[in-house]
Every structure is written in structure tokens, then in C-alpha cells.
Amino acid sequence: MASRDRRGYNVNMAPTIRRPRVSVCSSAQVHNNQAFIDELHLKFTEIVGDVRYFELPYNDIDHFLFRNTGIDVMILCHSIQNRRFAITDVMDALYDKFLYNAVRAIGKPKICILVHDFKAEDLNTVKKYRTRIEAFQSQQPTTFKCANLVMMGGKLDERVEIGDHQWEELRAFLIDAGQSPESIPSYQECAFNCIDTVNVTCQSVQKSYKKQLLLVLVILAGGLIIVLLVVLTK
């Protein structure tokens, strides 16, 4: 985009793209993702400001709060060996509510989900990978609705078993994330919590009002029946 300076000359103004802070989030210990974290540093130094590991709670992740965590861009790593291949929508899914809260707190454009520890030979061709990712999307669609990028891969601990195409997708994701403003989860989450509280209160009031109205109608009906009985017995 061009603009003019004070002397009337055209000046090219490129959009500012920040270098986001990336949190590799997992309920597994850091060594399960260490090679991936190191590779992120090496490959994307020019487009990310920082890469760090963030340990998520192993249990009760539904009640995890993003407030004051410092999570800006999230890459959620889930091992199918450490835990079942149940991200969303299926029995015992782990992240249905967590991802909903993540979208509200930091925004879908800054969420990537990497499901890993598949056998390398199951994903080593474009056709195999596409077949697996399409089946994943069909069976667990909420995962894809809550993330800007969903990937599948092999090992992430001592070596990184991710194809070149997935690395390119990840690069594009990080560049897009850098165009989104940095999150302030504490403010956003507080706002949404307030909205939830108001909704619950309104629902409670509505239910209470309906109960009171029903009680009044029952009393009136009972009174009318008594009056009719008195009149008929005279």
C-alpha cells in the first residue's frame, strides 16, 4: 500500500507482521516433544519471537483457564500413545470444552493441533496422509472447527517425523498468526466468564419465574374448583 510523505513522494507501507510467541502445549512431559520444539526454533527463527513448552493438566483439562498463562499462539500436541486418539466428538474425548475455551481466549487463527506418534509408514505418502486426515476430520469435526491448522505426525521426542508439506503448512500458520493481535486472555476470559454468569442467572430467573407462574395457576385452578363445588352443593 502506498502513501505520500510530507514532500509528496510515494512511500510503500507494508503491513506490520509481529513475531508471535509460540507455546507448545501438552499434558505429556517436555521430553515427549523436545525434538519438535528444538526444530521449531531452528526452522522459524525469523518469524517467531519465542518457542516454549507449556504443560497442560493431565486431568480436568475442561476447567483449564488461559488467564495469566502468557499463551499467545498455541500448538496443542497430543500423543496417541500417551493418551487415546480422542480429541473431540467421540467417546471420552479430551478437548471438547478445552478447545472451545481456547477459541474464546486466544482465537481460532492462533490455534494449531498436532496429533502425533502415528507410525511413520502410515503417513509417508501424500495419499496416505490425506486419507488419514480426511477420516480424522469426518469423525472429529469439532477439532477442525476450533483450529486454523490440524496436522498428524510421527515421533516428536528424539527426532521429528513430520513431512515437508506439514512444515510448510506450519510456516503459513505461524505467518497468519503473526497478523493477529497478541491475545490478552485475562481480559477476554473475564468478559466471557461474566457473560456466562449472566446467562446462567437469566436462565435461573426464567426457570424461577415459570415455577412461580405455574404455582399461581395451580392455586387459582384449585380455588375455582372449590368455588364451583360450593355453588353446586347449595
Decide if 70 contacts 21 (C-beta within 8 A).
yes
Place of cell 498436532: 114
Decide if 27 contacts 83 (C-beta within 8 A).
yes
Decide if 143 contacts 99 (C-beta within 8 A).
yes
- Cα–Cα dist 25/33, whole Å: 9
Average pLDDT, the chain: 83
- Where is pLDDT greater, at 35 or 231? 35
Query: Is pLDDT above 90 for 42?
Result: yes
What pLDDT band is residue 37 in, cutting at 50, 70 and 90? very high
What pLDDT band is residue 111 in, cutting at 50, 70 and 90? very high
> What integer pLDDT is reported at residue 232 of this predicted model?
66
Tell me: the pLDDT tens digits for 72-108?
Answer: 999 999 999 988 899 999 999 999 999 999 999 999 9
Distances in Å between the alpha carbon of 82 and those of 93, 119, 143?
Answer: 14, 14, 19
Strands (E), the chain: 2-4, 10-12, 21-26, 50-55, 73-79, 111-116, 149-152
Top mean pLDDT of 52-56, 66-70, 119-123, 220-224 is at 52-56
- Where is pLDDT greater, at 21 or 225? 21
pTM score, whole prediction: 0.72
What is the mean pLDDT of the segment spanning 211-226?
76
- Cα–Cα dist 169/161, whole Å: 15
How many CB atoms lie under 10 A from the CB of residue 186?
14
Q: Is 92 exposed, middle or buried (0-12, 13-18, 19+ CB in 10 A)?
A: exposed
Tell me: the pLDDT tens digits for 143-163?
Answer: 999 999 999 999 999 999 999
What is the mean pLDDT of the segment spanning 24-38?
94
DSSP letter, residue 26? E
Q: Given CA atoms 70, 197, 110, 65 in this order, what sign does their dihedral have? A: positive
Q: What is the CATH number of domain 12-183?
A: 3.40.50.2300
Name the residue ranges covered by the structural domains of the chain: 12-183, 185-234
Sheet with 73-79, edge to edge strand ranges: 50-55, 21-26, 73-79, 111-116, 149-152
User: Any idea which of 8-22, 155-169, 206-220 has the lowest mean pLDDT?
Assistant: 8-22
Beta bridge partners, 51, equal 22
Amino acid 52 reads R
